[in-house]
């Protein structure tokens, strides 16, 4: 792998609010983020993409008040377009709201709600079919990493969840991958930039085997796991780390915008060296 970042992929910085923020709080956040983005237009929406992923109750509001050049993602969905699935939300419903994409397979969904890779494969295909940009989350637990199985686990997650995705859809759907070392989520622990880069390079190699090397070069692979303004620049500077899926630090505009600013700084530095 080259030591330089590819111009084929944008840096994507995604705010996952999880189960936080009432509608009034969501509106205030979106307005403040929009003001910050208005003040930093250079590169936003092109080389650096911003994603906001609110809870379902604030999705419509977020679509209506989305910051300029930002995308709105749901945090989950069912794979069916309709049916007797109490409490679920379909891809058709998300498209009807004007949502741009959806997080799929977050480690909390896997661990707490027993989501498995085969079902996620159906969700990825359904999202692509309905014009929603899928962001598939993968990652190993501490026990799996200590046991030397991290790459095996991540490879199996990718192959099972993406195996039925048409090669054309892999490029046209806006697919992205978020690598979350489960042991680094909400713990304050962060994979070193070098360790994260190694796994991201492995993920890109796996994507090459699932699709093609050309397609893999165009799929952003984000890092998720206690990303903060203080460590964002070093992480985002790695050649195969194409962004960040941010949890706790995304709940305040000041800290989230600091991570976006780090992405802008990395991009401007890469372009200056080109």
The answer to whether the CB of 198 falls within 8 A of the CB of 221 is: no
The mean predicted confidence, pLDDT, of the chain is 93
Residues 6 or more apart whose CB falls under 8 angstroms from that of 211 comprise 162, 167, 170
Given a cut of 90, whether residue 58 has pLDDT beyond it is yes
Q: Please state the CATH superfamily assignment of the domain spanning residues 11-273 in this structure.
A: Aldolase class I (3.20.20.70)
The answer to whether the CB of 185 falls within 8 A of the CB of 247 is: yes
Q: Compute the average pLDDT of residues 206-225.
A: 95
Which pLDDT does position 2 carry in this prediction?
45
Each domain of the chain, given as residue ranges in start order, spans 11-273
Whether the CA torsion 107, 113, 115, 120 is positive or negative: it is negative
d(C-alpha 167, C-alpha 113), whole Å: 29
| pLDDT above 90 coverage of the chain, percent | 81
Per DSSP, the residues of 122-177 read: HHHHHHHHTT-EEEEEE---HHHHHTT-HHHHHHHHHHHHHTTS-HHHHHHTT-EE
217 is catalytic: no
d(C-alpha 145, C-alpha 158), whole Å: 17
Q: Compute the average pLDDT of residues 153-159.
A: 97
Given a cut of 70, whether residue 190 has pLDDT beyond it is no
Model confidence pLDDT, tens digit, residues 41-56: 888 888 999 999 999 9
Model confidence pLDDT, tens digit, residues 17-32: 999 999 999 999 999 9
| pLDDT above 70 coverage of the chain, percent | 95
Which pLDDT does position 101 carry in this prediction?
98
180 is catalytic: yes
Model confidence pLDDT, tens digit, residues 112-151: 998 999 999 999 999 999 999 999 999 998 889 889 999 9
Q: Compute the average pLDDT of residues 199-205.
A: 97
Model confidence pLDDT, tens digit, residues 160-188: 999 999 888 988 999 999 999 987 766 66
Stronger pLDDT, 8 or 206, i.e. the higher one:
206
Catalytic entry in 108, 115, 180, 200:
180
Model confidence pLDDT, tens digit, residues 65-108: 999 899 999 999 999 999 999 999 999 999 999 999 999 999 99
Catalytic entry in 106, 108, 140, 144:
106
Q: Compute the average pLDDT of residues 205-228.
A: 95
């Amino acid at each position: 792998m080259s030591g330089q970042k590819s111009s084929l992929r944008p840096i994507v910085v995604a705010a996952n609010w999880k189960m936080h923020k009432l509608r009034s709080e969501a509106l205030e956040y979106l307005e403040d983020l929009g003001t910050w983005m208005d003040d930093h237009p250079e590169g936003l929406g092109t080389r650096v993409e911003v994603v906001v992923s609110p809870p379902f109750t604030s999705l419509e509001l977020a679509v209506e008040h989305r910051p300029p050049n930002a995308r709105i993602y749901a945090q989950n969905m069912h794979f069916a377009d309709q049916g007797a699935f109490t409490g679920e939300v379909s891809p058709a419903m998300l498209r009807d709201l004007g949502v741009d994409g959806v997080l799929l397979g977050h480690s909390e969904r896997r661990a707490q709600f027993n989501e498995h890779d085969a079902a996620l494969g159906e969700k990825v295909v359904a999202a692509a079919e309905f014009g929603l940009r899928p962001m598939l989350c993968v990652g190993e637990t501490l026990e799996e990493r200590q046991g030397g199985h991290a790459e095996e686990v991540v490879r199996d997650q990718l192959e099972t969840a993406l195996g039925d995705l048409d090669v054309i859809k892999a490029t046209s759907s806006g697919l992205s991958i978020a690598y979350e070392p489960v042991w680094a989520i909400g713990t304050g622990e962060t994979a070193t930039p070098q360790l994260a880069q190694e796994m991201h390079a492995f993920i890109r190699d796996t994507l090459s085997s699932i699709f093609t090397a050309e397609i893999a070069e165009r799929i952003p692979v984000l890092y998720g796991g206690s990303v903060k303004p203080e460590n964002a620049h070093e992480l985002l500077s790695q050649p195969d780390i194409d962004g960040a899926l941010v949890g706790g630090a995304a709940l305040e505009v000041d800290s989230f915008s600091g991570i976006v600013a780090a992405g802008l700084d990395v991009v401007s530095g890469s372009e200056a060296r080109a």
